[in-house]
């Protein structure tokens, strides 16, 4: 087994020294030689303990590829990745069948190589690395700050319910997770206001009341306290998803809802939206929005966000998903 791996590695290493397109043109020959080596190999040696590290290496690589495909599956980059893979297969076939014109056109497309991939997938790469950075906290079951021990969940729900029952009043409430939102706060100095106060229905109604200085924008809850208000978040750029939600609900998503989706794409925050027009309560999480939640459903989400962990939040969201599907 080690001889096969060494042969494959040395072959691909030698090819990597040559031009990218020479590598593609020679890949067929390399694979044929590699398969021939495997066919001549004594598979009884596979049970040898010396090959244990090879098995671990193969399993880890498989898990890595699976996680990457799962991460890209429901994103626009996933379709782009499939498209690039199809073009790559077409390029290899054009070389094998001597289709020189097609090979030349595709060769021009792949000329930039890695640079093109980085540009196309820049957002997905950044979000993937951010998600990987939060993994240690998720593993130890402490993704969300547990300041909720000092906060009565009933206060926040009382405030949200009061806003939803009020005429011409909407809200955008962000419960900060492990990822701090200081970047959004620092960029908007002079526009937002640091409050750092206890949660109360009176305070939230005052913040989001039409005509007040702070009613535009969103409010950030950090460690169970109202930390900042009048914060502005960029709307989502995933217009395909927005259009799909618009068709499902029968009315267009407002600026608050689009800002909630956009923020949830960047971090692990729970973003609560109260519609000014319909008074419906919604939650955005990980780039998806869950519309028209009941008071009980929203209470479960708030409880998990303030006193639980990332696992608790995801468990509640999955439960809401199942209800929406059925």
If DSSP codes are grouped into helix, strand and coil, which group holds residue 111?
Answer: coil
Are 123 and 182 found together in one domain? no
- Read off the pLDDT band of 71 (50, 70, 90): low
Q: How far is CA 291 from CA 92, 120, 267, 275, 320, in A?
A: 46, 31, 20, 10, 10
Angle, helix 295-307 to helix 153-165, in steps of 10 degrees: 140
- Of 107, 139, 171, the residue that ends a domain is 139
Are 181 and 132 found together in one domain? no
> pLDDT at position 91, please?
81
Contact 320, 302 (CB under 8 A): no
Are 104 and 195 found together in one domain? no
If DSSP codes are grouped into helix, strand and coil, which group holds residue 135?
Answer: helix
**DSSP string across 15-43:** HHHS-HHHHHHHHHHHHHHHHHHHHTS-G
**Between residues 139 and 208, which one has the greater pLDDT?**
208
Are 163 and 248 found together in one domain? yes
Are 127 and 26 found together in one domain? yes
- For the chain, the residue count is 326
The tally of domains found in the chain comes to 2
> pLDDT at position 173, please?
96
Are 176 and 72 found together in one domain? no
Q: Name which of 236, 248, 223 is nearest 306 in CA terms.
A: 223
Neighbours of 17 (CB within 10 A): 8
Portion of the chain with pLDDT greater than 70, in percent: 63
CA dist., res. 160 & res. 225, Å (int): 15
For the segment 121-136, what is each residue's pLDDT rounded down to a tens digit?
676 666 666 666 655 5
> pLDDT at position 6, please?
44
Q: How far is CA 63 from CA 56, 126, 182, in A?
A: 11, 20, 34
> pLDDT at position 290, please?
93
Q: Give yes or no for residue 313 having a pLDDT over 50.
A: yes
> pLDDT at position 78, please?
60
Tokens linked to 155: 């206060």
Q: How far is CA 236 from CA 58, 59, 244, 300, in A?
A: 38, 36, 13, 26
Q: What is the pTM of this model?
A: 0.60
**Between residues 239 and 184, which one has the greater pLDDT?**
239
The range of the structural domain enclosing residue 78 comes to 2-139
Which of 36-45, 178-187, 195-204, 209-218 has maximum average pLDDT? Answer: 195-204
Are 100 and 221 found together in one domain? no
Portion of the chain with pLDDT greater than 90, in percent: 21
CATH code for the domain in which residue 183 is found = 3.40.1700.10
Are 74 and 164 found together in one domain? no
Are 163 and 258 found together in one domain? yes
> pLDDT at position 15, please?
43
Are 89 and 184 found together in one domain? no
- Of 139, 173, 208, the residue that ends a domain is 139
- Read off the pLDDT band of 105 (50, 70, 90): confident
Q: Across the chain, how many H-helices and E-strands are there?
A: 15, 7
Are 316 and 173 found together in one domain? yes
Q: What would the mean pLDDT of 271-284 be, rounded to a whole number?
A: 93
Are 115 and 187 found together in one domain? no
Q: What would the mean pLDDT of 281-301 be, rounded to a whole number?
A: 92
Only one residue has tokens 């200085």, namely 213
CA dist., res. 211 & res. 39, Å (int): 77
Mean pLDDT of all residues belonging to the chain: 75
- Of 117, 139, 161, the residue that ends a domain is 139
């Amino acid at each position: 087994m080690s001889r096969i791996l060494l042969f494959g590695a040395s072959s691909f290493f030698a090819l990597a020294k040559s031009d990218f397109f020479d590598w593609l043109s020679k890949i067929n020959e390399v694979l044929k030689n590699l398969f021939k080596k495997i066919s001549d190999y004594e598979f009884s040696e596979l049970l040898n303990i010396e090959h244990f590290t090879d098995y671990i290496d193969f399993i880890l690589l498989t898990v890595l590829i699976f996680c990457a495909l799962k991460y890209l599956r429901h994103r626009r980059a996933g379709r782009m990745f499939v498209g690039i893979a199809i073009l790559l297969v077409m390029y290899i076939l054009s070389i094998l069948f001597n289709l020189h014109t097609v090979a030349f056109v595709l060769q021009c497309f792949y000329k930039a190589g890695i640079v093109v991939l980085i540009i196309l997938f820049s957002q997905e790469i950044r979000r993937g690395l951010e998600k990987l950075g939060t993994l240690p906290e998720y593993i130890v079951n402490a993704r969300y700050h547990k300041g909720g021990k000092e906060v009565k969940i009933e206060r926040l729900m009382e405030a949200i319910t009061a806003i939803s029952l009020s005429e011409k009043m909407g809200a955008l409430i962000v419960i900060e997770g492990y990822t701090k939102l200081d970047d959004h706060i620092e960029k908007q100095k002079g526009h937002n206001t640091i409050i750092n106060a206890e949660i109360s229905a009176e305070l939230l109604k005052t913040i989001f009341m039409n005509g007040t200085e702070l009613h535009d924008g969103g409010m950030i809850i950090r460690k169970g306290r109202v930390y900042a208000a009048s914060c502005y978040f960029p709307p989502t750029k995933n217009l395909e998803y927005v259009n799909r939600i618009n068709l499902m609900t029968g009315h267009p998503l407002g600026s608050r809802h689009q800002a909630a989706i956009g923020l949830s794409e960047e971090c692990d925050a729970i973003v609560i939206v109260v519609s000014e027009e319909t008074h419906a309560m919604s939650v955005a999480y990980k780039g998806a929005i869950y519309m028209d939640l009941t008071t009980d459903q929203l209470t479960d989400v708030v409880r998990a966000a303030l006193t639980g962990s990332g696992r608790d939040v995801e468990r509640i969201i999955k439960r809401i998903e199942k209800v929406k599907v059925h």
